[in-house]
Amino acid sequence: MLDTITVRHMPFEFADEIDPVFMDGDHKQSFAFIAGSLLLPHLEPYLIRSMKAAEKHVTDPVVLEDLKKFSSQEGQHYQMHKKFNETIRRSGFPELEALEKELSDDYNRFTKTKSLRFNLAYAEGFEALTMNAVKHMMEPNGFGDNLPVFMQMVEWHFVEELEHRTVAFDVYDHVCGGYFYRLIVGMWAQWHFTSWIRRATKYMLKVNPQPKPQIKKGTDELAKAMKAVPSIKSASVGKLMPGLLRIYLPNYTPHDVKISPGIQVLADKYTAMAIKTA
């Protein structure tokens, strides 16, 4: 199931103010998610640049078509997260700008100085880890009904991550190949971006270590997302470990990863919600 990549332009809009502690007073989980969102407008353009650089080396028309749709989906993702992140920045974390610049500089440096093989292996390392985490959090049927806009954005993004789960692997394998190189660079990539998320989370916890006495204006809709939080919080390292170990095996391929039928239902739902599709 879920073998078609659909590029969806979504109509999501966010409240002017969002309490960054949106997971029922759980600062660490809330800020870790925000850090992940802040990562994406820097990482996903890097993934797109890497795929663009690989295009001229791709001779398989199916891989090439999937590469282009992957890039289009990622483009929609980071633009939507930029909108969300602008709202979050109003909550008052002034040093996040410097942290984001450091991250952006890293990805620009990788594009300019690293080999295409490195950049494609990094992309696959990111996609393999996130695919496993998203699959664990989403199945069998996503986050539930009557989600606020914020959680709909997350669910839409996660559905599309599962749709294009094979692309980075296929492009790397087609253009470069090599298990041990993919393993080493992929694991380093996972350390690189998760370390940044941890640093950003730690900084936000330092700035805002205590629950707020009341929810700010505009956060009532977001507070409704609490019903979905158990699905997000259940993605512990222990529960993810079987899937994580699988992605490091020599015979791993995301083509063997089965997605539950309920995720296809969600994909159809977001296709119907989209402003336009391709």
Q: Quick one: CA torsion of 3, 153, 100, 87, rounded to 10 degrees?
A: 170
The per-residue pLDDT for 173 is 98
The per-residue pLDDT for 214 is 52
For 117, the 3-state DSSP assignment is helix
List helix spans (H) across the chain: 27-54, 61-89, 96-113, 116-138, 149-163, 167-175, 179-207, 220-223, 229-233, 237-247, 261-273
The per-residue pLDDT for 35 is 93
Q: Which residue has the tokens 């989370």?
A: 201
The per-residue pLDDT for 210 is 53
- Give, for all 278 residues of the chain, the pLDDT tens digit: 688 999 999 999 988 887 888 777 788 888 888 999 999 999 999 999 999 999 999 999 999 999 999 999 999 999 999 999 998 888 889 999 999 999 999 999 999 999 999 999 999 999 999 999 999 888 999 988 888 788 899 899 999 999 999 999 999 999 999 999 999 999 999 999 999 999 999 999 999 885 544 545 444 554 454 444 444 444 555 566 677 788 999 999 999 999 999 999 999 999 999 999 99
The per-residue pLDDT for 211 is 53
The per-residue pLDDT for 92 is 86
The backbone torsions φ and ψ at residue 8, rounded to the nearest 5 degrees and listed phi first, read -115, 130
Distance between first and last Cα of the chain:
19
Q: How far, CA to CA in Å, does 232 sit from each of 44, 133, 144, 236, 240?
A: 21, 9, 12, 9, 12
